Copies of this chain bind each other. A is one copy, B any other.
């Protein structure tokens, strides 16, 4: 600890031969200081390597220049995109984005048990008097936000739809389920299996609702299959079961709540060369995390999520909070679709470009 060795404002004042007040003015209201004096003080600051103590500065205005973004886990590509969108936008506005990764982990789906540090980070950012907090919540954020509300005003809730005294940035998870099923109907699939864990979180429930809406509007036969996870192996197990029950020549569609589930399903099909993709079995994933790897043996069709734009919007809204006459917004961003051979066969360019949403 070298706290006592720090160059002080006093040292700057002495070296420049001016008063403390003048040094303070040079740093905070330079226009009020004569140019010559200003240059002398700045030279002293430079030569001493003085950095104003942000804690002292913050105490005055009770704010730091940082904006905190709390995400469940950057292992999920959605939150990497969200963080980059927010960080690049914040940088353009001269603000520093601090990312707090909660390392969210499902321990079980039914009932939902999670370990994460989201709540602790909320307190941390409040204590640090961060200028604003972007909170990508996995559960109802109301209690946590109420606890710190008096300390950080601008808060934007991301990816969790809960009415409250804040702005929200959401993606259209129902649309994700709906357009996936509509796409399958469009290629002639009449029987759809929706493979998903239980509704442990909002996006899971919303995608399920969207799938049901799409199936109803298209008049498809929908069967829901519940898994106890959202990874590759859970998708493989589900597909193996479907094939066991599949009538000869029947055409089926597999919709995975995540790309990993869909990839697991494709893994099983690989061991069944007698089954044609997509003529016998079509597969689609709903979270776009697989990112259309061109090394896939069959490129996956999947829904792409607007993570980057969610980050951009969240910064816009958190800054608008500070404006007079601000009114809370609830922004819902559309999803997209990446077309692959898992629904279009050789017609699709491997790892094809994003399609647009209907």
Contact = CB atoms under 8 A, between A and B. Distances in A.
A334 interface: no
A123 B65 CA distance: 12
Copy tally for this chain in the complex stands at 2
A28 B170 CA distance: 41
Interface string A18-62: 000000000000000000000000000000010111111111011
A225 interface: no
* Residue among A7, A55, A101, A103 having the largest count of chain B Cβ atoms under 10 Å: A55
Interface stretch (A82-90, A173-181, A203-211): A82-90
Interface string A258-271: 00000110110000
A66 B128 contact: yes
For the complex, would chain A's binding face be called helix, strand, loop or mixed by DSSP majority? mixed
A75 interface: yes
Given A80-B75, A83-B101, A6 B151 contact: yes
Interface residues of A, number: 67
Interface string A274-295: 0000000000000000100111
A262 B32 CA distance: 60
Nearest to A60: B55
Contacts of A59: 53, 55-56, 59
A293 B267 CA distance: 11
